[in-house]
Amino acid sequence: MSWSPDRLAREINRTCGAGTISVKAPYNWVKGSVPRRGLPHVVARILSERLGEPVTPGDLWPDRFPGMAAANTLDPAVGASVTPFPPPSAEDAVTAAVDWLVGCRPPVAARTCGEEVGPGIPDALDVRVAQLRRLDDDRGGRLVMDWAVQELRWTRRLVAEGSYDHETGRRLYRAGAELAQLAGWTAFDLGMHGHGSRYLLAALRSARNAGDRALAAYVVSSLSYQSIWQGQGRQALRLAQISCKGAETEPAGAGRALLASRQARAYAAVGDGEGVVSSVAEACELIQAEETGGSPPWSEWVTPAVLFADAGRAWLDMGRPDRAEQHLVHALELFGDTQPRNRLLHWTSLAEARLGRGDVEGAVAATEEALGLYGQVASERARLRLTGLRDGFARCDGRDARRVVQHITLLLSDARPLANCG
pTM: 0.79
Domain co-membership, 154 together with 281:
yes
Rg (CA), the chain: 22
Q: How many CB atoms within 10 Å of residue 323?
A: 17
Domain extent for 136: 90-330
First to last CA, the chain: 30
**Final residue before a domain boundary, out of 308, 330, 352:** 330
Q: Which of 279, 300, 330 is the last residue of a domain?
A: 330
The verdict on 255 and 358 lying in the same domain is no
Chain centroid offset of residue 422 CA: 19
Is residue 323 located within the same domain as residue 350? no
Q: How far is CA 110 from CA 115, 169, 175, 208, in A?
A: 13, 7, 16, 16
Kindly give the confidence (pLDDT) of every residue in the chain, 422 residues in length, as a single tens digit, with 9 standing for 90 and above: 567 888 888 888 877 777 788 888 888 888 778 887 778 888 887 887 666 566 777 778 877 776 544 333 333 333 333 334 455 655 689 999 999 999 876 667 788 888 999 999 999 999 999 999 999 988 888 899 999 999 999 999 999 899 999 999 999 999 999 999 999 999 999 988 888 999 999 999 999 999 999 999 999 999 999 999 989 999 999 999 999 999 999 999 999 999 999 999 999 999 999 999 999 999 999 999 988 887 899 999 999 999 999 999 999 999 999 999 999 999 999 999 999 999 999 999 999 999 999 999 999 999 999 999 998 888 889 999 999 999 999 999 899 999 999 999 998 886 544 443 33
Both 125 and 229 in one domain: the answer is yes
- As for how many domains the chain has, the answer is 3
Q: How far apart are CA 82 and CA 76, in angstroms?
A: 10
Check whether residue 110 and residue 152 sit in a common domain.
yes
The closest alpha carbon to 42, from 77, 17, 63, 67, belongs to 17
Q: What is the CATH number of the domain that holds 198?
A: 1.25.40.10
Residues 262, 410: one domain? no
The verdict on 210 and 342 lying in the same domain is no
**CA–CA separation, 208 and 392 (whole Å):** 44
The answer for residues whose C-beta is within 8 angstroms of residue 258's C-beta and 6 or more apart is: 218, 221, 283, 299, 302, 306, 307
* Neighbouring residues of 29: CB distance < 8 A, sequence distance ≥ 6: 5, 35, 43
The full DSSP string for 275-319 is HHHHHHHHHHHHHHT--TTSS-GGGTT--HHHHHHHHHHHHHHTT
- State how far the Cα of 285 lies from the Cα of 260, in Å rounded to an integer: 10
| Dihedral in degrees, nearest 10, Cα atoms 240, 244, 247, 250 | 140
Type of residue found at 268: A
